[in-house]
Amino acid sequence: MIISNYFNKNDNDTNNKLISYFNDLNNGIKLKRDDFLYILDNINDEVFSVLQSLAYQKRKLIYNDSVFIRGLIEISNYCKKDCYYCGIRKSNLTAHRYRYDKNKIYEIVTYAYQRGYRTIVMQGGEDDYYTKELLEEIIGKIRNDYPDVAITLSLGEKDYDTYQALFRAGANRYLLRHESASKKHYEKLHPSFMSFDNRMQCLNDLKKIGYQTGAGLMVGSPFQTNDDLVEDLLFLQEFQPQMIGIGPYLRHHATPFKDMSNGKLEHVLVMYALARLIVPHALLPSTTATSSLDKTGRLKALLSGCNVIMINLSDIDKRKSYTLYENKSYQGDESDEFIELIKKDIEQANMKIDFSIGNYRK
């Protein structure tokens, strides 16, 4: 159980020490392993509000009131990887698989552009149907037809040449969660044919090539300890990704982890706020998993330093097949009710909906 003292009371000395660490982070001072561990071991409900308001202010200082809206296309749920937590792992023979061909992707991109989206996120399982050449063609056409759109890819691990070719074809950003910066923990979440070192190599490659690069992790994933989360925080502090994807672990019935408990919203919010202070300029989405866990999740995420929301543009029947975890929110762009809910949260957080390209600022 992580951050396990969250609902305990602290003495004043402990609270003061926590607050002085928050102030250090807020002032750009790097923390050490033991400092982060102290935070995670001792943070509680009471003192979280201090951290949260620092994160909120930091985000405001850098990005003003914008909540950047991204259009998400889940292009394929075929996957050759076999992550123990994920509902679209290759060993899940009950998953209903689908993939979009290039014309379907263009169709959704056109729709998105007309609706005002200026960032398109193409996300999918690791599906070899999309060869380097096919992806170059798809990305090249979108780049040509819509020069003012940011193209974000989230297609897993590829070799350096492929990443570079896709960048040259016109992709700008790449999301690849590191999942765990502790090798030991990473290996508990993945089968032995998946390599922690390769994951880290990929992230380094992406950054070197020039992508705005996104790392990230699940909070409350099986076997995760505060020590593991500290490794994640140290990694974020060093790597300084331009984007950070964080959400709770949520169980899926057709995975080896089906009996493991879900992550907790309070812990996710702590990680959002720390991520904001550790990487002040990060684009930090309030993720679908966070909204799926709790209907107050999105608002609380915006109040804790988040400044991005991704809206699902895939067809509704396909969305149901893209099930990484149980109770995933299937609502999306076609539902006005959904946009209204989002707008309400954004207003409540005193922020503004922003469809512009929303690049990383530095």
Q: Binding residues for ligand 5AD, per CB under 6 A?
A: 85-86, 177, 179, 218, 247, 249-250, 252, 289, 324-325
Minimum CB distance to ligand 5AD, residue 219 (Å): 9
CB 119 within 8 A of CB 152: yes
Minimum CB distance to ligand 5AD, residue 267 (Å): 13
Minimum CB distance to ligand 5AD, residue 247 (Å): 6
For the chain, counts of helices (H) and of strands (E):
14, 8
> Where are the strands (E) in 223-340, listed by range?
243-248, 308-312
Identify which of residues 47 and 245 has a Cβ nearer to ligand 5AD in the complex: 245
Q: Cα–Cα distance between 351 and 197 in angstroms, integer? A: 39
- Give Cα 232 to chain centroid, integer Å: 13
Q: Cα–Cα distance between 48 and 54 in angstroms, integer? A: 10
Identify which of residues 177 and 298 has a Cβ nearer to ligand 5AD in the complex: 177
Minimum CB distance to ligand 5AD, residue 85 (Å): 4
Identify which of residues 309 and 324 has a Cβ nearer to ligand 5AD in the complex: 324
Identify which of residues 170 and 245 has a Cβ nearer to ligand 5AD in the complex: 245
Minimum CB distance to ligand 5AD, residue 244 (Å): 12
Minimum CB distance to ligand 5AD, residue 74 (Å): 10
Which residue is it, tokens 């030991």? Answer: 184
Q: Cα–Cα distance between 287 and 51 in angstroms, integer? A: 20
CA atoms within 13 A on the CB side of 71: 27
Residues 6+ away with beta carbon under 8 Å from 237: 30, 31, 278, 279
Identify which of residues 146 and 196 has a Cβ nearer to ligand 5AD in the complex: 196
Identify which of residues 254 and 341 has a Cβ nearer to ligand 5AD in the complex: 254
Minimum CB distance to ligand 5AD, residue 19 (Å): 31
Identify which of residues 241 and 247 has a Cβ nearer to ligand 5AD in the complex: 247
Q: Cα–Cα distance between 203 and 160 in angstroms, integer? A: 10
Tokens of 14: 């402990």
- As a whole number of Å, the CA-based R_g of the chain is 19
**Residue type (1 letter), 1:** M
Minimum CB distance to ligand 5AD, residue 128 (Å): 18
Q: Which residue is nearest to ligand 5AD (CB)?
A: 325
Burial tier of 255 (Cβ tally within 10 Å: 0-12, 13-18, 19+)? buried
> Closest by alpha carbon to 50, among 304, 267, 350?
304
Identify which of residues 36 and 186 has a Cβ nearer to ligand 5AD in the complex: 186
Minimum CB distance to ligand 5AD, residue 197 (Å): 17
Identify which of residues 31 and 86 has a Cβ nearer to ligand 5AD in the complex: 86
SS3 (DSSP) at 309: strand
With residue 152 as reference, give the H or E element that holds it: strand 150-154
